[in-house]
Chain A
Amino acid sequence: MNRFEWMTPDGIAHAARAATATVATAMISRSGLPATDAAVLKAGGIDLLDLMKEGLLSPHRLINLLSIPGLDRIEPQEGGLRIGPTVTLAQLAAHEAVRARFRALADAAGASASPQIRHLATLGGNLLQRPRCWYFRSRAHHCARKGGDTCFAFAGENQYHAIFDHRGCAIVHPSTCATALVAFGAVLEITGPTGARRAASLEAFLRLPETDLQRENDLLPGEIVTAIRIPAHPLTTRSIHLKQGEIDSFDWPIAEVAVALDLADGICRRASVVLGAAAPAPHRAAQAEAALSGRAIDEALLRTAARAALEGAAPLSRNAYKLPIFEALVRRAIRAAIEA
Chain B
Amino acid sequence: MLKKIPPDSPRCAHRPAHDIVGPGAAPITLVVNGIARALSIVPATTLAEALREQLALTGTKVACDRGACSACTVWLDGAPVCACMVLAIDVGDREVTTIEGLAQNGPLHPVQSAFIAHDAIQCGFCTPGLIMSCAALLAHTPDPSESQVRAALGGHLCRCGTYPHVIAAVLDASRRGRSRP
Query: What interface size band does chain A fall in?
Result: 35 or more
Q: Does B154 contact A (CB under 8 A)?
A: yes
Which residues of chain A come closer than 8 Å to B66, judged between CB atoms?
50, 53
Known: A116-B70, A116-B81. A8 touches B15 (CB 8 A): yes
Residue of B nearest to A3 (CB): B23
Known: A45-B85, A53-B65. A64 touches B10 (CB 8 A): no
Judge whether A249 and B7 touch: CB under 8 Å.
no
Known: A5-B22, A8-B15, A50-B66. A115 touches B44 (CB 8 A): no
The majority secondary structure among interface residues of chain A is loop
Known: A45-B85, A50-B67, A120-B86. A72 touches B11 (CB 8 A): yes
Q: How many A-B residue pairs have CB under 8 A?
A: 119
Binary interface profile of A, 158-189, with partner B (CB < 8 Å = 1, else 0)? 00000000000000000000000000000000
Most buried by A among B7, B10, B133: B7
Q: Which of B10, B22, B86, B89 contacts A72 (CB 8 A)?
A: B10
Inter-chain CA distance A4–B87, complex, in Å, is 12
Q: Does B150 contact A (CB under 8 A)?
A: yes
Which of the candidate stretches A87-95, A233-241, A310-318 sits at the interface with the other chain? Answer: A87-95
Inter-chain CA distance A67–B10, complex, in Å, is 8
Judge whether B11 and A66 touch: CB under 8 Å.
yes
Inter-chain CA distance A46–B152, complex, in Å, is 19
What is the minimal beta-carbon distance from A57 to any residue of chain B, in angstroms?
13
Most buried by A among B20, B21, B85, B155: B85
Inter-chain CA distance A276–B95, complex, in Å, is 37
What is the minimal beta-carbon distance from A230 to any residue of chain B, in angstroms?
16
Q: Does B80 contact A (CB under 8 A)?
A: yes
Judge whether B81 and A3 touch: CB under 8 Å.
no
Judge whether A6 and B43 touch: CB under 8 Å.
yes
Known: A4-B44, A64-B90. A120 touches B81 (CB 8 A): yes
Inter-chain CA distance A94–B87, complex, in Å, is 25
Q: Does B42 contact A (CB under 8 A)?
A: yes
Which residues of chain A come closer than 8 Å to B86, judged between CB atoms?
45, 120
What is the minimal beta-carbon distance from B35 to any residue of chain A, in angstroms?
23
What is the minimal beta-carbon distance from B103 to any residue of chain A, in angstroms?
21
Inter-chain CA distance A116–B156, complex, in Å, is 9
Residue of B nearest to A1 (CB): B44
Q: Which of B9, B11, B43, B133 contacts A62 (CB 8 A)?
A: B43
Q: Does A204 contact B (CB under 8 A)?
A: no
Inter-chain CA distance A72–B6, complex, in Å, is 10
Q: Does A73 contact B (CB under 8 A)?
A: yes
Binary interface profile of B, 9-48, with partner A (CB < 8 Å = 1, else 0)? 1111001100111111010000000000000001110100
Which residues of chain A come closer than 8 Å to B24, judged between CB atoms?
3
Residue of B nearest to A60 (CB): B23
Q: Does B76 contact A (CB under 8 A)?
A: yes
Q: Which of A6, A8, A119 contacts B81 (CB 8 A)?
A: A119
Judge whether A46 and B67 touch: CB under 8 Å.
yes
Residue of B nearest to A247 (CB): B154
Judge whether B85 and A46 touch: CB under 8 Å.
yes
Q: Does B8 contact A (CB under 8 A)?
A: yes
Inter-chain CA distance A249–B43, complex, in Å, is 32
Known: A50-B66, A119-B76, A249-B154. A9 touches B19 (CB 8 A): yes
Judge whether B155 and A115 touch: CB under 8 Å.
yes
Inter-chain CA distance A130–B72, complex, in Å, is 24
Which residues of chain B come closer than 8 Å to A1, judged between CB atoms?
44
Judge whether B22 and A6 touch: CB under 8 Å.
yes
Residue of A nearest to B23 (CB): A3
What is the minimal beta-carbon distance from A174 to any residue of chain B, in angstroms?
14
Binary interface profile of A, 255-275, with partner B (CB < 8 Å = 1, else 0)? 000000000000000000000
Inter-chain CA distance A4–B11, complex, in Å, is 22
Binary interface profile of A, 61-102, with partner B (CB < 8 Å = 1, else 0)? 110101101101110000000000011001100010000000
What is the minimal beta-carbon distance from A2 to any residue of chain B, in angstroms?
7
Judge whether A61 and B20 touch: CB under 8 Å.
yes
Inter-chain CA distance A115–B46, complex, in Å, is 19
Q: Does B151 contact A (CB under 8 A)?
A: yes
Inter-chain CA distance A91–B77, complex, in Å, is 14
- 5 intermolecular pairs with C-beta atoms under 8 Å apart: A5-B20, A7-B19, A46-B85, A74-B7, A115-B80
Chain A to chain B: the 7 pairs with minimum beta-carbon distance, closest first? A114-B155, A6-B43, A3-B23, A249-B154, A119-B79, A69-B10, A5-B22
Partner-A contacts on B (CB < 8 A): 5, 7-12, 15-16, 19-24, 26, 42-44, 46, 65-68, 70, 73, 76, 79-82, 85-87, 89-90, 133, 150-156
Additional 19 contacts, C-beta under 8 A, given A46-B85, A73-B8, A117-B155? A3-B24, A3-B42, A4-B23, A5-B21, A5-B43, A6-B20, A6-B22, A6-B26, A53-B65, A61-B20, A66-B12, A70-B10, A72-B7, A90-B79, A115-B152, A117-B81, A117-B82, A119-B76, A249-B155
